[in-house]
Amino acid sequence: MTTTRATAIDPKVEAWLDARADERLESYKAFLRIPSISALPEHAADCRRAAEWIADDLRRIGVDHVEVADTSGHPVVYGDWLRAADAPTALVYCHYDVQPVDPLDLWQSPPFEPAVVDGRMLARGASDDKGQIHMHLRAAEALLATRRALPINVKFVFEGDEESSAAPLERWLVANRDRLAADVGVISDTGFFEGNIPAITVGLRGLMYAQIDVVGSPVDLHSGGYGGVVQNPANALASIIAALHDGDGRVAIPGFYDDVDPLSDDDRRRFADLPFDEDAYLAELELPGLFGEPGYTTLERRGARPSLDVNGMWSGFQGEGAKTIIPAHAHAKVSARLVPSQDPDVIFDRLEAFVRRIAPPGVRTSVTKIGGGRPSVTPVDHPVTQAAARALEATFGRAPVYIREGGSIPVCASFEGTLGLPVVLLGFAPPNNHAHAPNEWMDLENHEMGIRTIVRLLDEIAALPSASA
């Protein structure tokens, strides 16, 4: 591991940023106060408010062509600054929507009343992903204020459906393909490695999301009168779910692993070389042990092997005491994390075929597709990836590690496929940031240093030999 001393950015930009730390904390908080939960229809107006908040900010700092564009979902915010003649163009992406906040009672402070506690910003969206939008805004502002220019051309795309559906943005990208032309995509929606080590993500898993419904008689039945006489939907669903894995943690759906790209020796070495403290990881999880597919390390299982999980299941009586029924129906939400070259539609078909085959008699079983997204691997050796690595190292005093992550950002594959762009995943969330859970937080040092890293990245890209960005 190389450790170098962090160096200062452009002193004029640093001085400008330094003088505005309090103001910056306030604008971060103001943005986080907008409850932009994309999945809940009652927050649609809040999503629009968040989009307008970003658009106002972009206009104020001097970004051109700012627009809050309607989509089939929540609005996309677009803005660009294209006055750097002959310089490359980066397409910057983040999402302003956030996950729902339940269970509310587990939050230390209300999710949309941002609080600074021990160097952390505590709020829904602090890390995923409003904090990272805020970093891009403040970096661009500092550059435009001090130099009246950005070092390169930048097109900003901030979407509001990432946490609930990939479809609206995908359609918008296709419809706006020409004006989104760029040399590179910069996606800031990932984080640092365990131990808060600076990282560049170079792989993301894809996703296949489905629901299994098992339906019996139209209403609950007395389990004395009918137990042993009819199929129980909850029993039937349990037997289906139990058949999805073998006892060791392998997925048992026939064909599930057929299209998986095997790990190369190089891939395995890169995982093994990461400074991973498995004991600390386990301790943080407060678990008696880790579990998963045999034959692979924890980091391999998370970053480069597919997995399948029940996200939720419900059926029958859940109150206190006893109620003797055969439930009328039983349901499960099931998702698979996918790796190259798995296809979400193919995996859905294999799940559905398997469930149909093993579905117990005497009830009606169906499988419905809810969503999906493709996996991606991004290039380590692309000049802009290396520019990002230099920017991280110079700012944080430590060379980044390259990681393949378990989470999914379907837009990454869309940038690569639909727009034909190389992508750099430059994200600053601390590991274990409680994204999607109560008490989501952002390390304020990561936030501040991240702004400097973005400033440096734009300068680094500007300094690349032409044609290499």
Q: Which residues bind ligand BES (CB under 6 A)?
A: 128-129, 162-163, 166, 189-190, 207, 373, 405, 407-410
Nearer to ligand BES, 131 or 327 (CB): 131
Q: How far is the CB of 443 from Mn ion (least distance, A)?
A: 16
**408 binding partner (options Mn ion, ligand BES, none; Cβ < 5 to 8 Å by kind):** ligand BES
Q: Whole-number minimum distance, CB 47 to Mn ion, in Å? A: 15
Residue 403 CB, shortest distance to Mn ion, in Å, is 16
Q: Shortest Cβ distance from residue 174 to ligand BES (Å)?
A: 18
Q: Give the whole-angstrom CA distance, residue 411 versus residue 418.
A: 9
Specify the residue, 172 or 354, whose C-beta has the smaller distance to Mn ion: 172
3 state SS for the chain: CCECCCCCCCHHHHHHHHCCHHHHHHHHHHHHCCCCECCCHHHHHHHHHHHHHHHHHHHHHCCEEEEEECCCCCCEEEEEECCCCCCCEEEEEEECCECCCCCHHHCCCCCCCCEEECCEEECCCCCCCHHHHHHHHHHHHHHHHHHCCCCCEEEEEEECCCCCCCHHHHHHHHHCCHHHCCCEEEECCCECECCCECEEEEEECEEEEEEEEEECCCCCEEHHHHECCECCHHHHHHHHHHCCECCCCCECCCCCCCCCCCCCHHHHHHHHCCCCCHHHHHHHHCCCCCCCCCCCCHHHHHHCCCEEEEEEEEECCCCCCCCCEECCEEEEEEEEEECCCCCHHHHHHHHHHHHHHHCCCCCEEEEEEEEEECCEECCCCCHHHHHHHHHHHHHHCECCEEEECCCCCHHHHHHHHCCCCCEEECCCECCCCCCCCCCCEEEHHHHHHHHHHHHHHHHHHHCCCCCCC
- Do 427 and 189 form a contact (C-beta atoms < 8 A)? yes
For the bound state, the minimum distance from the C-beta of residue 429 to Mn ion, rounded and expressed in Å, comes to 8
* Residue whose CB is less far from ligand BES, 73 or 151: 73
Footprint of Mn ion on residues 371-410 (CB under 5 A)?
Answer: none
Nearer to Mn ion, 128 or 460 (CB): 128
Under the binding rule (CB under 5 A), the answer on residue 440 touching Mn ion is: no
Q: Compare residues 360 and 431 and give the one whose CB is closer to ligand BES.
A: 431
Binder of residue 57, out of ligand BES, Mn ion, none (CB less than 5 to 8 A by kind)? none
- Please report how many Cα atoms fall inside a 13 Å half-sphere around the Cα of residue 382, on the Cβ side: 20
From the list Mn ion, ligand BES, none, partner contacted by residue 89 (C-beta under 5 to 8 A by kind) = none
What is the dihedral angle through the alpha carbons of 276, 279, 283, 287, rounded to the nearest 10 degrees? 110
Give residues 446-465 in contact with Mn ion (rule: CB under 5 A): none
The rounded distance, in Å, linking the Cα atoms of 66 and 56 is 8
Tell me how far, at minimum, the Cβ of 145 lies from Mn ion, in Å: 28
Question: Nearest approach, Cβ of 115 to Mn ion (angstroms)?
Answer: 21
46 is an interface residue for Mn ion by CB under 5 A? no
The interface partner of residue 444, options being ligand BES, Mn ion, none and the CB cut-off 5 to 8 Å by kind, is none
Residue 47 or 326: the one with the smaller Cβ distance to Mn ion is 47
For Mn ion, how many residues bind (rule: CB under 5 A)? 3
Residue 128 in the binding site for Mn ion (CB under 5 A): yes
Closer CB to Mn ion, 170 or 460, in the complex? 170
Minimum separation from the CB atom of position 183 to ligand BES (A): 23
Stretch that binds Mn ion, among 12-20, 122-130, 236-244, 389-397 (CB under 5 A): 122-130
By beta-carbon proximity to ligand BES, the closer residue of 151 and 373 is 373
46 vs 129 by CB, closer to Mn ion: 129
What, of ligand BES, Mn ion, none, does residue 71 touch, CB below 5 to 8 Å by kind? none
User: According to the binding rule CB under 5 A, does residue 97 interact with Mn ion?
Assistant: no
Of 172-201, binders to Mn ion (CB under 5 A) are 189
- The answer to whether 129 contacts Mn ion (rule: CB under 5 A) is yes
CB of 337 to ligand BES, least distance (A): 8
Taking phi over 0 as left and psi of -120 to 50 as alpha, with beta for the rest, 22 belongs to: alpha
Whichever of 46 and 405 has its CB closer to ligand BES, that residue is 405
Min dist CB 129 to Mn ion, Å, is: 4
Task: Point out which residues bind Mn ion (CB under 5 A).
Answer: 128-129, 189
